[in-house]
Structure 1
Amino acid sequence: MVRFKKRYLVVEVVPERREGFRWAGLQAAVVSAIKKIHGDFGVAATTPGFSVRYHNKGTLVAFISVGRGAHRLVASALPFITQVGEQPATVRSLHIAASMRHGFIFLQKYHEKKLKEMEESLSPAEMQRWQQAKQAALI
């Protein structure tokens, strides 16, 4: 028996309003976009192994699991998502990983990079408060 290989798409969901955002419609929104772009063939090709495996409310990041090969169809349909559930939102593809572990490794580096960018944009007074908050969190 042959192993079913998967790919994990690390995506960032950017809703218009963050409060009241519900993750329940993400999978349906992706399937709808695939059907709109690739038709019945796309839906049939991506259905085996397709699911939303992980989502984080704080960072608005989700992992979408799909079979290898069909991940290209899913990735090409993501920019066409305009609503998740009933709320207007966009979905940005950040990374394609072969395992969830490698997806989380990428995510850690991505967040560290974003944090450094944010720190560079702070004024000196804000930077001092930020450093104090980081020290307090480490204690």
Structure 2
Amino acid sequence: MVRFKNRWLLVELIPAPQTPSSAAPARLDGQKIWASLKQSIITNFGDVGWGSVGLSMSVKYYSPTTNICIIRVARDHHKIAWGALTLLTAIEGTRYIPNVVHLSGTVKHTQLAAVAHNRAVIARIRAQAKTPSGYQDSYEEYLKTSAMEIEALQD
């Protein structure tokens, strides 16, 4: 029996600066990210590109607080998904800059990288707000719940 091998992409979706006349950004979720990524693959790599990654690609996790996303794709064609992510400019009409933070062959290493990335982003938010390090805020609860959600992901 042959094992199905995956690659796990940890992606940060950085919102691009909006023009004053543009509407408020739409609330993202995994389905909207998947649909936009599908459209990017079809546009840039055609039906053959979509056929090679379509069955294996899925968005496993998305956090609106830190804008990170975990995407699973088959190992053989993960470069097509990564290329489509790089060429992705907008999701639901809102401009985003995708940044692939981590690529891994196992879900465990992706989970560890996601938790570490969440902590780094929250530390940056706290530094910008100039809060003392011992200050208890709502981000502590977020870090606990997001770590539990990420660790609950299965292959």
TM-score by length of 1: 0.77
Q: In the alignment, what sits opposite 1:69?
A: 76
Q: Judging changes above 3 Å, is the alpha-carbon distance between structure 1 residues 117 and 14 closer, same or farther for their aligned structure 2 residues?
A: closer
Q: In the alignment, what sits opposite 2:63?
A: 56
Structure 1, gaps ≥5 residues long:
none
Report how far residue 19 of structure 1 moved: 5.7
Contact 1:31/1:43 (<8 A) preserved: yes
Q: In structure 2, what residue type is equivalent to 1:53?
A: K
SS at match of 1:8: strand
Q: In the alignment, what sits opposite 1:132?
A: 135
Distance 2:124 2:27 in 1: 26
Report how far residue 88 of structure 1 moved: 2.2
Distance 2:101 2:93 in 1: 23
Distance 1:10 1:113 in 2: 14
Distance 1:131 1:107 in 2: 23
Contact 1:15/1:21 (<8 A) preserved: no
Q: In structure 1, what residue type is equivalent to 2:84?
A: A
Q: How large is the RMSD of aligned CA atoms in angstroms?
A: 2.7
Report how far residue 50 of structure 1 moved: 1.0
Aligned length: 132
Distance 2:128 2:13 in 1: 25
Q: 2:98 aligns with which of 91, 97, 120?
A: 91
Q: In structure 2, what residue type is equivalent to 1:15?
A: P
